[in-house]
Amino acid sequence: MTSAEALEHARAEGIHQLRIPTPFAVGRVNCYLIEDDPLTLVDTGPNSGKALDELEHQLADHGHAIDDLELVILTHQHIDHLGLIEVIQSRSSADVAAIDIAVDHLAGYQESADADDEFAASLMLRYGIPQDMIFALRSVSRSFRGWGAHATVSRPLADGESLELRDRALEVQHRPGHSPSDTLFWDSDRRILIAADHLIAHISSNPLLSRPLDGSDERPQALVRYLESLRRTREVPAEIVLPGHGEPVTDHVALIDERIAMHARRAEKLYALIADRPRTAYELAQELWGNVAVTQAFLTLSEVVGHVDLLMNEDRVREVADGEVVRFEATE
């Protein structure tokens, strides 16, 4: 099945892909309109006039308006996926569904974003990013705030529960890694998996270093969790995976195998650099990505730390403190 056929097939089952613009490097975000009872929208796009215009137009193409929406499902906590939720909630009586552990985070958007920035700054310091860069990145992050919004979740979802619509049931699957709140929606009758940013065809999904949703300050091993989640998704007998960006995935097992192999290769590359001499995560990121480690500092840092976690779990690498900064060295 080609990706065009996959979209056509989804359409025939009442699931329409809406492609909403974002100001971010990732480009458009995929939202999904499910024509069922309740009339359902999966993700909203970011909080901008342009995104709102497009959402309205694309809903109108299917004969609907924002006020008609009865349920909005949020797949995860990232602002490119949920920024319009406040506008939608003010214009419709839609219920808002999201995984239960994300409810408080979503309700206190400003506080959550401040705490996320704080958490990111302390990690960047620890992993060797210079202080002036950390300040600069913080103001970049603040400038993105307006694209998000707070969301009042009226329908918290538990992992494993079934979300019942008139014509279909969607099994809720909490699969953290890309973010702590990543949630997949599995329609086993139709073998369609709505996967958001958990699995994307054209780019590997970044397991971002994230503050835990339970408020503790223990850093979760994002890549380790992500790989566990991917292995579970590999077992799902999906025919079509509908992602949060780009084209549908029609062979998720092959794509997941490719991703797992890529991460293993990247871990070995990092191991070779660490065995050569002890380095900070930031130095490792610069070795692998050059200047991109500066322009995309947090992203590349997340990549490095995720892979070093794999090596530390295998006892091949250990962390050595040097003042406020930590370096990684080989254990033998």
Residues that bind Zn ion (CB under 5 A): 78, 197
Shortest Å, Cβ 139 to Zn ion:
22
Nearest approach, Cβ of residue 178 and Zn ion (Å): 6
In whole angstroms, how close is the CB of 209 to Zn ion at the nearest point?
14
Tell the residue number behind the tokens 């600069």, with chain if given.
Answer: 136
In this complex, which beta carbon is closest to Zn ion, that of residue 78 or of residue 279? 78
Residue count (the chain): 332
Q: Which is nearer to Zn ion, 185 or 282 (CB)?
A: 185
Are 117 and 134 contacting, i.e. CB atoms less than 8 angstroms apart? no
| Number of neighbouring beta carbons within 10 Å of residue 246 | 16
Residue number with the smallest Cβ distance to Zn ion: 78
Q: What share of the chain is helix, strand, coil (3-state, %, to 5)?
A: 45, 20, 35
Assigned token pair, 193: 């998996």
Which run of H or of E encompasses 256?
helix 252-276
Least distance from Zn ion to the Cβ atom of residue 82, Å: 10
Q: How far is the CB of 113 from Zn ion (least distance, A)?
A: 15
- By C-beta, is 241 or 317 nearer to Zn ion? 241
Question: 65 vs 203, which CB is nearer to Zn ion?
Answer: 203
Residue 328 bridge partners (DSSP): 279, 319
88-105 in b/e form (b: 16+ CB < 10 A) is bbeebebbbbbbbbbbeb
Asked if residue 174 lies in contact with residue 74, where contact means CB atoms within 8 angstroms, the answer is no
C-beta closer to Zn ion: residue 78 or 211: 78
Cis peptide before 23 (omega within 30 of 0): no
